Amino acid sequence: MNNPITIAIDAMGGDNSPDKVIEGIKLHSNTSRNVNYKIFGAKDLINPLISKFEISKDRFDLIHTENIVLGEDTALSAAKRGKDTSLWLAIDSLKNNNAQAIVSAGNTGALFLISKLNLKMIENIDKPALSALWPSKKGMNVVLDLGANIECNTKNLIDFSIMGSALHKALFPNENPIVALLNIGSEELKGKTIIKEAYQILNDKNFSLFKFKGYIEGNNIMDGDVNIIVSDGFTGNIALKTAEGTSNFIINELKSAITNSFLGKLSSIINYKNLKNFKNKLDPRLYNGAILLGLNKPVIKSHGSTDSIGFANSLKVCEQTIRGQLIDQIKVNIK
């Protein structure tokens, strides 16, 4: 049986909160055992939802907070709101070892800054990296950095390779991590100096945690030949937003094509199972939960506009990082 774990949750961040957060907790608690939730937020809003979704009282602690971080706050103004916001107190519970990870769908900049103010960096890591899961033909990719660092040096890219591989191993323990650097071409001489220097180090050194495959171009990210894709935050964020936009475009165009005519509707009925599988493959809710790697505790960012299904999935990712001993794996391999 799994050891009990506790997840700290900022219940007030993101669109339609705390409704989606509490329903997401219910959905996650239905499929998880020995997971408890430390919920931070306004009790007058949260208690009716706990009753509505019939969450067992022995699965959670509710810590009332009057103050919240707003979506329009800058990272600095959010930190200046004080130490009584739901976000700050949730992170503080992690700092004081009252929880093993935190999930928030709130202000991204505030989450990163307050996390870095309260939590220590893992030794030998200079910068944290934002990572997320992307689907591929053969399973799931870990992609990082997705925007935490606009500029990176060679050592950062090496660290990201190690951290991304540790995350993949924690989430998918039966798979072997394979790393590639996102670049403008597959040839060894292409790309910026920093990327070429990282290539040489990764290619020359034998890392026990992962295999290095070389460069990968943007159009091959989802082929499945590698499962950890490393980039600086500027390039990675553009790739992420492009993939999200393309996914939404395909889903909307497909929906329009099968609902605008009789033949389209008939085809959708005949191919219902295949269409459902296709939609699930591209459904961003099922891959929700970005991880800020490099801090000494797991910090999970749920998409602000996701629904309860997406938030429940971020809790699942959070649980897997704890069960898979993500931080310990990074510490061992970063040396």
* Strand partners for 41: 64
Q: How far is CA 15 from the centre of its chain?
A: 17
Going through 153-267 in order, the beta strands assigned E by DSSP cover: 178-182, 211-216, 228-230
Helix, strand, or coil (residue 33): coil
Find the mean pLDDT for residues 153-177: 93
Asked if residue 43 lies in contact with residue 49, where contact means CB atoms within 8 angstroms, the answer is no
**pLDDT given for residue 243 in this prediction:** 76
Burial per residue of 61-85, b for 16 or more beta-carbon CB atoms within 10 angstroms, e otherwise: ebbebeebbeeebebeebbebeeeb
> What whole-number distance in Å separates Cα of residue 92 and Cα of residue 280?
36
pTM, to two decimals: 0.85
Burial per residue of 168-179, b for 16 or more beta-carbon CB atoms within 10 angstroms, e otherwise: bbbbbeeeebbb
Say if residue 48 is preceded by a cis peptide, omega within 30 of 0: no
**pLDDT given for residue 235 in this prediction:** 85
pLDDT digits (tens, 9 = 90+) for 235-287: 888 887 787 777 777 767 767 766 776 655 655 566 556 656 656 666 667 77
Q: Which of 27, 26, 25 is nearest to 7 (CA)?
A: 25
> What whole-number distance in Å separates Cα of residue 50 and Cα of residue 57?
9
Cα separations in angstroms, 8 against 40, 87, 163, 304: 8, 10, 22, 17
Is the pLDDT reported for residue 30 higher than 90?
yes
Percent of the chain with pLDDT over 90: 54
Q: Which domains does the chain carry?
A: 1-125+294-335 (3.40.718.10), 131-286 (3.40.718.10)
